Structures are given as C-alpha cells and as structure tokens.
Amino acid sequence: TKSNQELESIFRYARINILKCNKEDAIQHFISENFHFIENIEKEKPFGDDNKGFYLDFDVPNLFVFASGTDLHQDTFVINGSIILQDKASCFPALALNPSVSDDVIDACAAPGNKTFQIYELMKQFPNNSGKLFAFDLDFQRTELLRKRLNVFGAKNVIAQNEDFLKVNPNDPLFSSVKKILVDPSCSGTGIIANQNIFESANEERIKSLASFQKKILLHALSFKNVERVVYSTCSITIEENEGVVDSVLKEDFVQNSFHLENIFPKWKRRGLNGFVSCIRCSFEDKTNGFFVASFVRNLSQKKSNK
C-alpha cells in the first residue's frame, strides 16, 4: 500500500483548450485567481513559497502544472470549457496517435471524452482538416456525458455513438479511410491515485478477465483494413493489462506479420516492463497517475505487398 505522503504527491494538471483560449489569456486568468506564473522553476519548491505558483509542463504542450491538492473544479475557465482538467499521463495517448491532416480517426472507448477532444484539437491544428472523428462508447449515460462535454469544449462534427466497438464492422466502407484508432478500454484503474485505498489487493480474477477483454478489443482495432496506427492505453499498473496484453496481441499471426511497436516519446525515461521499451509507463514517481501507452504501427513493406 502507498503512504499518505505518496498519495498526496501527484501534481494537478490543467490543459488549455486551444480552440477556446490562448496561453496568455489562460495565464492571465489564473493570475487573476491569485495564482502566479513561474518561468524559472526551483527544483526544491516548484510552486513557490506559497504553493500557488503554476508553470507549463515540459513534456505535454499547453499543459499547466499546479501543486498537489489544488482544486480547480469550480474555476470559471474549467466550467466554460476553456481549461480541461486532465492528468498529464492521460495526455500521452492522443499525442502518440498524432492524427494528420486528412486522417479519419476512431476513438474506440471514448467517454467521458478527454482524449476524444484532445484528438479533435490535434486534427483542428490543420486548417483544412477533412478527417472524420468517430467516438464510440458502450455505456449510454457515459456517451451522453461525452456528447455534452464535447459540446462544452466546442467540438463540432464528432460522430459520437453509443455502440459496442466490438460490434463495429471493420470492413464497413464508412471506415475505409480510418488510419488511426485509439483504444483506451475499461481497466482495473489501479494507476489512479484516488483508487489506491480501494485496490489494496488487486483481484486476480478481475484482472484476468479485463486483460482478455482488452486483448479482444485491441485485436478488433488492429483488424481495420487501412488502419496505420493503433494506440493502446490504460490507467492500470498491472503487467497483465499492459505489457501482457501487448505481448499476447503481438503473438497473433496477422499482427505479427503486419505491425510493429513504435518507439514512442523517446525522451520519456519510464519505459514498459518485461523488455517492452518502445512503450511508456507513468507512475506516481513522475507526479502523475499510473499509466501505460503502446503504439502499433503497420509495416510499410507489408502494406505494399498486401495491395
């Protein structure tokens, strides 16, 4: 179990919704709320003497870092969708997916939509973007919440559907231009700091059944005909749900023959376990929730020979 000190130690993160607000306005807003912007961070005291300092993260663009325990839920910019409360670790999957100018994209397990919106923002960085963004979620209420939040954030034309992704047909012509898929499925949540006292002993049976579901849904994403990159992420710290799922998926012939793992965020030090160094992990020691990200990319030569 984790000590209280460790539990209190992760930082609070707030991402700028660049479609609604620019960096300067966001900084001015927090200054008007009695925070102060820090440009030169002191290692010992990153948030200043009063703990009310904030700074821009080094790894994730447009992400502010606040001291642990800072509560921004009632902040007016958070309520109006100009600022999104999103843990640093959970910003990595959309960045790894890196949608480009005309890609169609699927977010397979999308609700409540932080990553969907981040993908949308990345797509909108291309003024002439013509790509479609499909977002699926199995849960009706969570899909409603996803739609509501996308609306608050200002995302238009996201095709958000209350649907089991496993039942979405990979051969449907509607998805023939889908090049990127994010799979961020239900997991044990053992990486979430607020869950630490609930998950003192991870239930073996539950982890096993989650891992088998995760494998199935990841394989489903990899079976889309023209998909070029599939990013898999969890907020779990178990090996079974992370490196274990990646390992067993790579053992399937069609995956082994057509895909490889991409070396993501080479500057990020905490890598996947059991030799999966192309993948990344995040941990409380990084001042984030526990997290895992892997990226499968289609082999170019194989793609040519398939044509």
Q: What angle do CA 237, 277, 113 make, to 5 degrees?
A: 50
Minimum CB–partner distance for residue 291 and ligand SAM (Å): 11
Angle between helices 243-250 and 204-222 (to 10 degrees): 50
Any idea which residues carry the catalytic annotation? 235
Minimum CB–partner distance for residue 156 and ligand SAM (Å): 19
Minimum CB–partner distance for residue 307 and ligand SAM (Å): 30
Q: Which is nearer to ligand SAM, 136 or 259 (CB)?
A: 136
CA 168 – CA 213 distance, rounded (Å)? 15
Tokens 């020691």: give the residue. 285
Q: Which is nearer to ligand SAM, 217 or 218 (CB)?
A: 217
Q: Sign (positive/negative) of CA torsion 56, 59, 60, 66?
A: negative
- Classify residue 3 as exposed, middle or buried by CB count within 10 Å of its CB (0-12, 13-18, 19+): exposed
User: Which residue has its beta carbon closest to ligand SAM?
Assistant: 109
Whether residue 101 contacts residue 131, with contact meaning beta carbons closer than 8 Å, is answered with: yes
For residue 222, give both structure tokens: 């990899």
CA distances from 270 to 183, 184, 193, 286, 291 (A): 21, 20, 18, 9, 10
Minimum CB–partner distance for residue 17 and ligand SAM (Å): 14
CA 11 – CA 284 distance, rounded (Å)? 9
- The CB density around residue 169, as the number of other CB atoms within 10 Å, is 9
Whether residue 231 contacts residue 183, with contact meaning beta carbons closer than 8 Å, is answered with: yes
Residues at the interface with ligand SAM (CB under 6 A): 108-115, 136-139, 142, 164-166, 184-186, 217
Q: Which is nearer to ligand SAM, 196 or 234 (CB)?
A: 234
Minimum CB–partner distance for residue 270 and ligand SAM (Å): 20
Q: Which is nearer to ligand SAM, 56 or 97 (CB)?
A: 97
- The CB density around residue 26, as the number of other CB atoms within 10 Å, is 24
Minimum CB–partner distance for residue 159 and ligand SAM (Å): 14
Q: Which is nearer to ligand SAM, 184 or 241 (CB)?
A: 184
Ranges of beta strands (E only) in the chain are: 12-16, 36-37, 53-56, 63-66, 83-84, 104-107, 133-137, 159-162, 178-183, 229-234, 259-261, 280-282, 291-298
Q: Which is nearer to ligand SAM, 213 or 265 (CB)?
A: 213
